[in-house]
Structure 1
Amino acid sequence: MKTRCSLLVAFFLALSLSAQQPTPQPAEKPPEKCVLEGQVVRAGSGEPLKKARVVLRKAEGRDEPYSTLSDAAGRFVLTDLEPGRYRLYVGRNGYVRQEYGQRQPNSPGTILTLAPGQRLRDLVFKLIPAAVIAGRVYDEDGEPVPGARMEALQYRYNRQNRRELAPMRFATSNDRGEYRLFGLPPGRYYISATYSPGMTYMGLGYMSEGGRTTDEEGYAPTYYPGTNDPGRATAMEVRQGDEVGGVDILLLPARAVRVRGRIINTVTGKPVHDAMIHLFPRGAGVRVFSFESRATVDPAKGTFEIARVTPGSYTLFADWYDEDSQENYRARMPLEVGSSNVEGIELVIGRGVELAGTVRLETGLRPTGLGQPAPTGDTTKPEQREAPLDLDDLFVQLNTDDDFPFGGESGPVKADGSFQVKNLSPGEYKVEVWQRGGLPGDYYLKSARLAGDDVLEEGLAVSGPVRGALELTLSPAGGHIEGTVLTAEGQPFSGARVVLVPEERRRQRTDLFKSTTTDQYGRFTLRGITPGEYKLFAWEDIEPGAYQDAEFLRPYEEKGKEVRIREGDRLEVELALIPADGPRPE
């Protein structure tokens, strides 16, 4: 009897314990994959285009793109796609590359939002034929000039929010002096020719043809139809498929001088035999990507000479890689060149200032909406949760605020958050933390402090050895804005350029500006916003970077929607479209 009772007690006890156990939750089902289908045709005729390259990239992040080629019927299919936000591009030789949703070649495209299991069919890309500008280059004697660097330039905004001429296409003149700049979208272009006798242009710079020269003449960059002043150049207007020939340029000779000096290596104390020394034009209103003039270096003495330098303002730049320490060392100095040789320059390569510090991730605060911090328990939706961030994927970047292309230094962050930025030159720097593909989720750089001082807003001044460590804090609780852009008729507008502009007193911080485009439903998302006061704008069309130009932005100030962002905020807004065909406000 006792045994029977014991068994009954054990049974009911087990039953009670079983009832207290949590019911196992079914495994979360992965989202269904998506499919894109479409066709690529020639604009106007509708002729199918074979071998067009179709590329789909995530709008945010570092994921590998999807890509395929169109078939003989111009059809393409992209399968097994993860749901998300994408940008879709199509390109083919002889045609202008096009982004999904573009209304014209230089207008913004549209983000493509794919919901789980979505299958988008009948996407049609109508590619327009690219334009060509061609001609010949002659010297002052009417002889053809081979090996000249030819550029098709357009005005673009630079890092200092100033418009300057920037090269869009490059070419090299052949033995007959002929050049052909192809693959041009419709637009206005300025054509330039740059030539250094005895040198041949090879993509990113000049290759010496050997020997020493005693010539005392050279050629300054010449702009069509025949001027050394880019401000007096004549623009060429080309339409789709145009082949404009006869754009000939007569190079204008100028007295050339030599720049001579000595490069001093304080790292090894030995003559430098493998440093790269170049002259870059400065303040010319033209963006320079190539090495304009390269020095000849005497390895035994550490002396250098740059021949055929035309008068002007330059930056003299040296770059040396130390194979023992596997570090780069740089030196630069401003240089004014007149009508006579420049002698006795001493360019010193040495160890610059080293800056050490740590990056810390702030935890425990996540965005939930209405500006309120999340509770201790994770009640956020999956798309709102803190995105993963590995410290050793990060880089700390210090950038100067001038227009020199090599004006900053960076250092990788280790898994423990420590970093070093080496060989800094004296100057004013802006502090940034970045990751390839951008910081994930709503992360933003919350603070940057050096010896207790805030260097995030005011910048970091380096004049000598830095005392203390640079302490950086990243927070996952940046602001998050979603919304819709509406036309005057109240209809959602796809492909609008949405820009978040900080209040006027903080506009020197270019990292606070954020920009995106609306998707096919007129929706947009901006993430990782630093807390503060902002204005939101939505343009139908705007030149890239124009919104950082105070003069451009001033007439539109009243059209911006004011928003205040606090840590953890999630806002939903509606924006009125600023039409491209309307008159610019006065």
Structure 2
Amino acid sequence: MLIWLFALLLAAAAQDQPPQTCTLSGHAINSVTGAPLGKVEVLAEAADRDAPPASTTTDAKGNFTLVELPAGQYRLKGHRNGYVDTYYGARRAGSGGTVIALEAGQELKDAQIKLLPFGVIAGTVRDTDGEPMSGAAVMLFRQQYTETGHREVHAEAETVTDDQGQYRVTDLEPGKYFIKAEARSLWDYGIRTPVDHSAKSAEPPPALLPTVYPGTVEVTSGGRSAGIDITLQRSKVFRVTVHATAAEGLFLYDAWLYNAPPQERFGLLLKTQNRNRTGEFEFHGVPPGAYTLEVRANSEESRARMPLLVGGDMEGVRIAVGYPAEVTGHVRVEGSEKVDLAGIRISFDGGSENAGDALIQNDSSFGAGLFPGQYQVYFEGRNLKLVVKSMRAGGVDVYQKGLTITEASKAVLEIVLAPEGGQVDGVVLDKDEKPVSGATVVMIAEPGLLARPPRFVPRRDYRCIRPLPFRQRPPRRLQAVRVGRRRALCLVRSRFHEGRGDGRRSSDDRRERTQLSPVARTLMRFA
């Protein structure tokens, strides 16, 4: 009896005790010089629940301690003036770093945050005579890649030159940048040029054109790229008028002239509007060169494009806008088990300018409108253990050759899915037989089978392993991989998202070849 009462008292005391908290300590340094950093705000962000981050600040020696942390998983981030926000374990800007798993009562020491210092680009803008241009606009665009491997250019910063024509742009993340300068004379309808009233003038004076620095400027962590000088070019400019027609039920909205895709805004982009719905558009001050003319209608899916070579004034350029091509299809799953596909997306990837998608309906059908072009088609049911067995349209193997859409064409697409994907299990180890957390494993078909461009994201054909939690070593798994001969790449420092996007491997990858058959399981070990 006494023993039973004593056990009850112990259990009650244990219930009254508060849960044990954790302590996390470490230091923050400059990733380039290795110098300790004071005044760094350290944030422990909960990775497994919705909770406000815990914070502290490093001392003059870069040391920090976070106390009374609930047990759980955390991402540790450092924030400081002059540095990119950097997570613990991150090897590049924008990376989420490594998850730290804390058990009840655990005290974890020596967590090191390596902050990436911002970079700088500086230079001078001059006219064709070498005279510095004050008040010139300088714009920086950063080169990045989408999840499907297509290049995009995003505006990152803008500044104005001083009285000596000099500019300086700070707080830049590592990466590749395009730089454009212009004399603040560009407007939506062309380059604003005065009407010449000089006596006996034979031709109007040339205009200063927006000018892009040749090539890209690569900024490293803490790098200072000086002497990035730009000389604005002068040229004659011309007038272009357009006469557009629209299919019945559409009315014309606006027209564009560009010498680079609109997503790559470092090029020249001129816009005009059809305010009276007559189909007459006019561009003033167009420099000579090769352009794309694009006219859009009230429907977002209705537009027309044509190449245009400008070498002088152009009158009455004709273009017709119609409805997009109709693409319909049906999805079928092999086997007796019924699978609900309603609401799953079918995506059509035609590059940075063309894209579309459709949702599968209750009867497994789908439909979309696409512009003329070449598309890769993807089934986006990533949570279903299904693989694409075939995609065909009119006898064409769309999975391997893609879907070709022409003017006013119609396409009927048949997609067959099957629950026969292979499965790969493995553990990532370094040369010292220690687990590597945060590594990415990608499955890529052999070159002879790689007709479709790689997509380095967690999709059906190329599934990435999620980062391993800190201090854990469970095997990771790639499921529903399409049958065929493939290579597994372990990217310890993946550069696909931040760099080329062309499928080239980084210098420190590890690869192993395997053959997948239906419902096969292959154990792979990387070291």
Same fold (TM over 0.5): yes
Asked if the contact 2:125–2:133 (Cα under 8 Å) also holds between the matched residues in 1, the reply is: yes
Distance 1:94 1:389 in 2: 51
Asked if residue 146 in structure 1 is aligned to residue 135 in structure 2, the reply is yes
* 1:91 Cα offset (Å): 5.1
Asked if residue 509 in structure 1 is aligned to residue 452 in structure 2, the reply is yes
Change (3 A) 1:542 1:448: same
Asked if the contact 2:342–2:359 (Cα under 8 Å) also holds between the matched residues in 1, the reply is: no
* 1:484 Cα offset (Å): 1.7
Report the counterpart of residue 355 of structure 2 in structure 1.
408
Q: Select 1:460's aligned residue among 377, 394, 403.
A: 403
* 1:534 Cα offset (Å): 0.1
**Within 5 A, what are the aligned runs for 1:56-71?**
68=53, 70-71=55-56
- What SS does the aligned partner of 1:500 have? strand
Asked if the contact 1:130–1:183 (Cα under 8 Å) also holds between the matched residues in 2, the reply is: yes
Asked if residue 261 in structure 1 is aligned to residue 242 in structure 2, the reply is yes
Distance 1:88 1:315 in 2: 47
- What SS does the aligned partner of 1:572 have? strand
* 1:426 Cα offset (Å): 2.6
Report the counterpart of residue 182 of structure 1 in structure 2.
170
Distance 1:91 1:276 in 2: 44
* 1:313 Cα offset (Å): 3.4
CA RMSD of aligned residues (A): 4.7
Report the counterpart of residue 393 of structure 2 in structure 1.
450
Distance 2:484 2:71 in 1: 37
Distance 2:354 2:372 in 1: 11
Report the counterpart of residue 524 of structure 2 in structure 1.
573
Q: Select 1:479's aligned residue among 409, 419, 422.
A: 422
Change (3 A) 1:170 1:556: closer
Distance 2:288 2:380 in 1: 40
* 1:491 Cα offset (Å): 3.2
* 1:109 Cα offset (Å): 6.4
Report the counterpart of residue 373 of structure 2 in structure 1.
427
Distance 1:355 1:277 in 2: 27
* 1:348 Cα offset (Å): 2.2
Asked if the contact 2:345–2:359 (Cα under 8 Å) also holds between the matched residues in 1, the reply is: yes
Change (3 A) 1:456 1:575: same
Report the counterpart of residue 85 of structure 2 in structure 1.
97
Asked if residue 277 in structure 1 is aligned to residue 289 in structure 2, the reply is no
Distance 2:387 2:75 in 1: 23
Structure-2-length-normalised TM-score: 0.72
Residues 172-181 or 498-507, more deviating: 172-181
Distance 2:190 2:408 in 1: 44
* 1:96 Cα offset (Å): 1.6
Q: Select 1:562's aligned residue among 508, 513, 518.
A: 513
Identity over the aligned pairs, expressed in percent?
Answer: 22
* 1:49 Cα offset (Å): 1.9
Change (3 A) 1:209 1:430: closer
Letter in 1 for 2:423: H
Q: Select 1:346's aligned residue among 318, 343, 348.
A: 318
Distance 2:371 2:423 in 1: 37
Structure-1-length-normalised TM-score: 0.66
Query: 1:485-531: per-residue Cα shift (whole Å, max 9, x none)?
Result: 23334333334443322011221212544444752456544333211
- What SS does the aligned partner of 2:302 have? strand
Report the counterpart of residue 379 of structure 1 in structure 2.
none
Asked if residue 299 in structure 1 is aligned to residue 265 in structure 2, the reply is no
Report the counterpart of residue 329 of structure 1 in structure 2.
302
Letter in 2 for 1:296: T
Distance 2:234 2:431 in 1: 57
Q: Select 2:211's aligned residue among 202, 218, 221.
A: 221
Gaps of 5+ in 1: 1-31, 59-63, 200-205, 224-228, 367-387, 577-586
**Within 5 A, what are the aligned runs for 1:352-391?**
352-360=324-332, 391=342
* 1:193 Cα offset (Å): 1.8
Distance 1:492 1:351 in 2: 55
Distance 1:186 1:566 in 2: 42
Residues 347-356 or 133-142, more deviating: 133-142
Distance 2:169 2:55 in 1: 26
Distance 2:265 2:238 in 1: 23
Distance 2:466 2:490 in 1: 9
Asked if the contact 1:267–1:351 (Cα under 8 Å) also holds between the matched residues in 2, the reply is: no
Number of aligned pairs? 477
Distance 1:575 1:196 in 2: 55
- What SS does the aligned partner of 1:275 have? strand
